[in-house]
Amino acid sequence: MPQTINILFLAAEAEPFIKVGGLGDVAGSLPRGLRALSSEDLKLDVRLVLPHHPAVKADSLKPVGMFSLLRDGVEIQVEVSETVLNGMPVYLIGGEPIRANGSVYSLNSALDAEKYAFFSLAALELANRINWQPDVIHGNDWHTALSMYGALTKRWEEGSRHVATVITLHNLPFMGPDASAIIEKYGLKLAQTDLPEWARVMPLPLGLWASDAIVAVSPTYGREILTPEYGCGLNEFLLSRGDAVSGILNGLDTASFDPAVDVALGANFSVDSLDKRAVNKRLLQERLGLPHDPETPLLATVSRMDVQKGIDMIFAALKMMKKSKWQAVILGTGDPKLEAEALKLQEALPDRVKVETRYDAGLARQIYAGSDMFLMPSRYEPCGLSQMISMRYGCVPIVRAAGGLNDTVKHGVTGFVFEKAHHMALAAAIKSAIKVFAERAKWREIQCAGMAQDFSWENSARKYLELYRSLIKKA
Ligand code: GLC
C-alpha cells in the first residue's frame, strides 16, 4: 500500500471553472501538479474546494449532499456538489451567502465578508461530512483564511486532531474586510493574537497567525513582506513567525502556453524555428493597424490596468521616448482613469500606439508571440505570470526587480531588469533593450535563453510536497 497524503485545497477561483486573475491560474494548476507527483510509494490525494459562484462553469455536477452551519443560532444550508477534473475531485460549495453575491469579488465588502466566511467555514466542515480526513489544509489569500483560523481555534476548543495548515500569499495588501462580528456569529471566538491591533479582526492576518506555514508565491516576495516597504504593517508580525515564512515560485501551465502548438497563433514556432516568429509580428501589426516594419521594435503590455502594475510608468516613459523608433500595444482593462490615459496616448501617437481596453485571451497570445519586448514595471509583484509567458514566446521582458519578476528574469541574459519604480528608470531600460535589439545575434541569444527556461509546475509542486511532509512530521 502506498502512503497517502490527503490535501484539502481551497481557493476563491480556479481554472477551468472560474478565473478572474493569477490566483485562478495557480489554483487550477497547482493541485493537478501535486497529484501528478503521485508514485507507487506515495499517493497525493488533492481535492479542490471552490465557492459555487453563479458564474462557475462545470460539467456533470453531482450533488454530494447538504449540511448546515449555525449562524446566530439559525441553521444555514450548505449545498455541496462534486465534479471531477482529470481525476481530481472538485467540490463546489453553494448556499445563500454565495448566491447573494453575484460576482467572484464584490465591491460591497460586507457581502464579500459574509460570502468568504461562510465558504471558509463550510469547506472546513466538508471534510467531516464526506468522511475524508485531510492531512493538510491548504488555503490561498484572505478568502480562505478563516479556514486556517477555524481549524486552529476548533482544535484548541474541541481538542480535535492537528491537521497541518498552509496558506499561500498571492497578494498581501488584500486582507479582507473586518470579520469580527461574523466570526462570532458562527460561534468562533476572537482569539488573543500577537497581531497588530488593527489586524486582529481581519481574515488574512488571522489566517496567517493560525497557519503552520506561510508561503509567498516567490522567494523574493517571501523576503519583501518582512520589510516595512512591502509588509503592509504585518512585517514585524511576519518576522516573528521566523521559519514559518517562505517563498515558492509559481509555475506556468506549459502545455497551454506553448508557442509550438498554440492555436491562437498565425504561425507556430519553437526555439529551433525562431525565424517563423516574424510571421506573428507581421500579423499582429496588421491586426492592430500598425505600419508593417520588422525592424521597428514592438513593445507590449498585457495587464490589469492597475497602479500595482506600474501602467502609469509605461505611459510616462513612452511619452518621453518620442525620438526613438518603436511601436507599442497595450491590452487590458481595469482602472477607468488608466484606461482613459492609455486611450489619450493612442490619440497622441496614432501610428505608434494601439490600445485595446478589454480582456482578450486570444489577442494576448498573439501579442506574446508577435511583439519584441514585454513591459512589466510593477511596483510590487508577488510572482507574475506574464513575464514567464513572454519568455516562453520569445518576447523579451523588461521588468522591475520586484518579487517574482526578480526571481524569473536575469538581466542581460533572459531580459532587462531595473531597480527604481520610476518612469525614467523604465525608459532607460527600454532604451538599452532597443540598442541590443539592433544587434540581431545578441538579441536572438536573449530570446533563446528565455525560451529555454523551465517554468513548469513540477518544480513548485515538489517544493510544496516537501513542505507538507515536514509539517505532517511536526503535527
Ligand atoms: C496575484 C499577484 C501575482 C501572482 C498571482 C498568482 O495576482 O499579484 O503577482 O502571480 O497572484 O500567484
- Same domain? For 423 and 468 the reply is no
C-alpha cell at 280: 506573428
Q: Residue 214: name the closest of 166, 152, 164 by CA.
A: 166
Residue 341 Cα to chain centre, angstroms: 26
Mean pLDDT of 83-102: 95
In a domain, 233, yes or no: yes
437 CA → ligand 1 middle, Å:
29
386 CA → ligand 1 middle, Å:
10
- Ligand 1 atom nearest the C-alpha of 403 is 9
- Same domain? For 312 and 182 the reply is no
- Same domain? For 242 and 368 the reply is no
Count of Cβ atoms closer than 10 Å to residue 332 Cβ: 23
- Residues whose CB falls within 8 Å of the CB of residue 446, separated by 6 or more in sequence, listed in order: 396, 412, 413, 414, 415, 436
- Same domain? For 53 and 11 the reply is yes
170 CA → ligand 1 middle, Å:
5
Would you state the pLDDT for residue 128? 87
In a domain, 260, yes or no: no
Count of Cβ atoms closer than 10 Å to residue 83 Cβ: 18
- Same domain? For 308 and 234 the reply is no
With a cut of 90, say whether residue 242 has pLDDT above it. Answer: no
Nearest CA to ligand 1 atom 5: 22
* Span 346-368, pLDDT tens digits: 999 999 999 999 989 999 999 99
In a domain, 342, yes or no: yes
Pocket test for ligand 1, best of 252, 385, 400 (most atoms within 8 A of CB): 385
- Same domain? For 192 and 283 the reply is no
* Span 102-115, pLDDT tens digits: 899 998 999 999 99
Would you state the pLDDT for residue 154? 87
Please give the Cα distance from 97 to 145 (Å, whole number). 17
23 CA → ligand 1 middle, Å:
6
For 61-66, the CB contacts below 8 A with 24+ separation are 61/92, 64/91, 64/130, 65/129
Q: Which domain holds residue 406?
A: 271-454
168 CA → ligand 1 middle, Å:
11
Mean pLDDT of 58-86: 95
Provide the pLDDT confidence category of residue 101 given band limits of 50, 70 and 90. confident
Provide the pLDDT confidence category of residue 91 given band limits of 50, 70 and 90. very high
383 CA → ligand 1 middle, Å:
5
Lowest-confidence pick of 6-15, 56-65, 72-81: 56-65
Please give the Cα distance from 145 to 202 (Å, whole number). 9
* Span 374-410, pLDDT tens digits: 999 999 999 999 999 999 999 999 999 999 999 999 9
Pocket test for ligand 1, best of 214, 217, 409 (most atoms within 8 A of CB): 217
381 CA → ligand 1 middle, Å:
7
pTM attached to this predicted model? 0.95
C-alpha cell at 236: 514585524
Please give the Cα distance from 151 to 142 (Å, whole number). 15
25 CA → ligand 1 middle, Å:
9
In a domain, 266, yes or no: no
In a domain, 16, yes or no: yes
Q: What is the CATH number of the domain that holds 236?
A: 3.40.50.2000
- Same domain? For 186 and 318 the reply is no
Nearest CA to ligand 1 atom 10: 384
- Same domain? For 236 and 326 the reply is no
- Same domain? For 66 and 185 the reply is yes
Would you state the pLDDT for residue 318? 98
Classify 214 in phi/psi space as left (phi over 0), alpha (psi -120 to 50) or beta.
beta
Do 64 and 89 contact (CB within 8 A), yes or no?
no
Q: Residue 456: name the closest of 257, 192, 291 by CA.
A: 257
Pocket test for ligand 1, best of 30, 140, 167, 170 (most atoms within 8 A of CB): 170
Q: Which helix (H) or strand (E) holds 353?
A: strand 353-356
Mean pLDDT of 429-441: 97
In a domain, 265, yes or no: no
Nearest CA to ligand 1 atom 12: 170
Pocket test for ligand 1, best of 13, 171, 455 (most atoms within 8 A of CB): 171
- Ligand 1 atom nearest the C-alpha of 23 is 6
In a domain, 298, yes or no: yes
- Ligand 1 atom nearest the C-alpha of 384 is 10
C-alpha cell at 370: 508577435
- Same domain? For 96 and 108 the reply is yes
- Same domain? For 26 and 162 the reply is yes
- Same domain? For 442 and 464 the reply is no
* Span 34-66, pLDDT tens digits: 999 999 999 999 999 999 999 999 988 999 989
- Ligand 1 atom nearest the C-alpha of 168 is 12
C-alpha cell at 380: 510590487
| Per-chain mean pLDDT for the chain | 96
Please give the Cα distance from 47 to 198 (Å, whole number). 34
In a domain, 262, yes or no: no
* Span 261-298, pLDDT tens digits: 999 999 999 999 999 999 999 999 999 999 999 999 99
Instruction: Provide the number of structural domains found in the chain.
Output: 2
Binding pocket residue ranges, ligand 1, CB within 6 Å: 21-23, 26, 170-171, 217, 250, 381-385, 404
C-alpha cell at 210: 493560525
Q: Residue 466: name the closest of 134, 124, 48, 37 by CA.
A: 37
Cell numbers 489569500 correspond to what residue?
141
Nearest CA to ligand 1 atom 1: 170
